[in-house]
Amino acid sequence: MGVIVQCKCGNYVTIATEQGQSQGMCPQCGQRVLLPAVGPGSSPMMGGGVIAVPTMVPPKLQAPDKPPCYLTIRADHVNLMAKFDTSPVLISFVEGFAKKLKKQFNVQLVPAPQPGAPSAVVNVLTIDEGNRMLRYLLGIFAGHTIFEIEGEVISSSGQRVPFKHKNRGMMGMFGGDSLGMLRQGGMYLGKKVGKAMGKMG
C-alpha cells in the first residue's frame, strides 16, 4: 500500500510505505513531503486528508505475457467521510479493473499515465460510509454509502474518453456493512472503467 499526502502547493504525492518510505518528492513544486506523524494505535491511512492507495496489482491478476496497460489513481479533490481505513475500497477497484482486462492487458499501477500506451486516470471524488441505522430503518431511501470517481481512459494513440461514475450502496442485512458495501462499489466501478479501457484497445 502507499499513502497519498497533500503537499503545501496543493498537489498530492504517493508515499510508498510498503517499501519503507516515509517521504516523497512533489513532482509539481519539488518540495519534500513527509508522512504525517500519528499517535500510538492510530493509522496514517484514516481520514484527515490521507488515503491509502494500492501501488501494485495483486500477482494473481497480473498478466506478464500481455501488453501493458497503466492505471493511475489520484485523490486530488477527495471528500472522505469514513471513520475507518478506506484502502480496501481502492484495492477492490484495482482488482475489478485488472480482472476485466486480464485477458487483454497486463495492468500496472503508475503515478502518471504513460505516453503511447493505454492508460486510465482515476480521481477519487467521494468515499462516504453513509449511515447504517438510516439504511436499516429507511432502506433504499437514506443512509447510502457513496463511492464516486471521475477521470479518463486514454488509448495508445492518445484518444481520450472522460468518465464520471458514482456507486450508491443501499441495502444489506441490518443496514449492511459500510466497508463491505463500499468494496462492492469499488469492484463494480473498477470493472466498469476496465470495460471502457478494453473497448479503447
pLDDT in tens, 93-133: 999 999 999 999 999 999 888 889 999 999 999 998 887 66
* pLDDT score of 82: 80
Are 7 and 33 in contact, with CB atoms under 8 Å apart? yes
pLDDT in tens, 145-166: 899 999 999 999 999 999 999 9
Are 97 and 107 in contact, with CB atoms under 8 Å apart? yes
* pLDDT score of 38: 43
pLDDT in tens, 156-192: 999 999 999 999 887 654 446 888 889 999 999 999 9
pLDDT in tens, 125-145: 999 888 766 666 666 666 688
Q: Is the pTM of this model over 0.75?
A: no
According to DSSP, the residues that pair with 52 across neighbouring strands are 3
- Pull the grid cell for residue 63: 498478466
pLDDT in tens, 23-76: 888 777 888 888 765 444 333 333 344 566 777 888 999 999 999 999 999 876
Residues 6+ apart with CB under 8 A from 12: 4, 5, 6, 74, 75, 76
* pLDDT score of 51: 65
Whole-number Cα distances in Å, 152 to 18, 116, 122, 156, 159: 27, 15, 7, 13, 10
CA atoms of 31 and 60, how far apart (whole Å): 36
